[in-house]
Amino acid sequence: MILAGNWKMNKTNEQAKFFVNKLVQDLAGMGFQIVLCPPFVFLSDIAEILKGSNLHLGAQNCYYEKSGAFTGEISPLMLKELGVKYVIIGHSERRHIFGETDEMINKKIKAVLNSGMKPIICIGETKEEREKGLTFCVVESQLRQALFGLNRDDIDQIVIAYEPVWAIGTGIVAKPNQAQEVHKFIRELLEQLYDQESAQKVPILYGGSIKPDNFFGLMVQPDIDGGLVGGASLDDQFIELAKIISGLI
């Protein structure tokens, strides 16, 4: 199980440090992967606070080149050097606000893997696509393109996050059975593309308006292996979510 918090563009550096110090204390000893993905500029300070704790550092994005004339971008090597273990790639806000294509996402995934970190690969359909009955088609296409050129060893290092766009930041959460059917579909597609053993090992997280009162029902689904959390990762709700997972393992 993995619980990952995507802070997006929130908090000041002081607020970030205060909150992480609290998390380190309150989440100590929890026996599953807990990942904090703060804005880039806080990574260095937060890395210091996380040293010796059971919490892991994640980033929200990166570029796919190692270095060079790419003003404003951050390379995977820079993140790795700071102690980052996970990198969110292809979040719907990156796709829709910043125009990231499936091809760019594939390059970023390869760059993250080549730098020895784990990509959290986000996929999911929009409201219009769901209403047109295109959910499985969109998810399949995004996943196939994201994984293009990845071998079995690479697959051991990835995390997938199914995040229906209509559920992100809207307060409308997918029903557990709605999420489960897509997660099962993703698992079966991984089996087809690789093999059953590899497919079973890939953590498939759900993301989209997770809150302490809707989390349990999602987490008990057989193909849901944790959550990628936005809003509820910014305050004590994150501790409640961690306790729910802790009670399940």
Question: Is position 56 annotated as part of the catalytic site?
Answer: no
**Which one among 43, 199, 210, 218 touches ligand PEP, defined by CB under 6 A?**
210
Q: Which residue, 139, 110, 106, 100, is CA-closest to 123?
A: 139
Q: Kindly state whether residue 208 participates in binding ligand PEP, applying the rule CB under 6 A.
A: yes
Q: Would you say 212 and 233 are in contact if contact means Cβ atoms under 8 Å apart?
A: no
At closest approach, how far in Å is the CB of 191 from ligand PEP? Answer: 26
Q: Which two tokens stand for residue 197?
A: 């053993």
Question: Is position 163 annotated as part of the catalytic site?
Answer: yes
Rule CB under 6 A: which of 140-199 touch ligand PEP? 163, 168-169
Q: Which listed residue (56, 125, 163, 183) is catalytic?
A: 163
C-alpha separations of 191 from 137, 155, 195, 224 in Å: 17, 11, 4, 16
Block residue for tokens 């992480």 = 20
Question: Which range, of 17-25, 147-155, 206-214, 217-225, touches ligand PEP by CB under 6 A?
Answer: 206-214
User: Left (φ > 0), alpha (ψ -120 to 50) or beta: where does 191 sit?
Assistant: alpha
Q: Would you say 236 and 194 are in contact if contact means Cβ atoms under 8 Å apart?
A: no
Largest Cα separation within the chain, whole Å, is: 49
**Which one among 36, 84, 229, 244 touches ligand PEP, defined by CB under 6 A?**
229
Kindly tell me which of 86 and 194 has the beta carbon lying closer to ligand PEP.
86
Show Cβ contacts of residue 138 under 8 Å, excluding neighbours closer than 6 positions. 123, 124, 125, 126, 129
Q: Which listed residue (56, 91, 93, 100) is catalytic?
A: 91
**Which one among 1, 3, 5, 6 touches ligand PEP, defined by CB under 6 A?**
6
Kindly tell me which of 103 and 235 has the beta carbon lying closer to ligand PEP.
235
Binding site for ligand PEP (CB under 6 A): 6, 163, 168-169, 207-210, 228-232
Residues marked active site are found at 91, 163
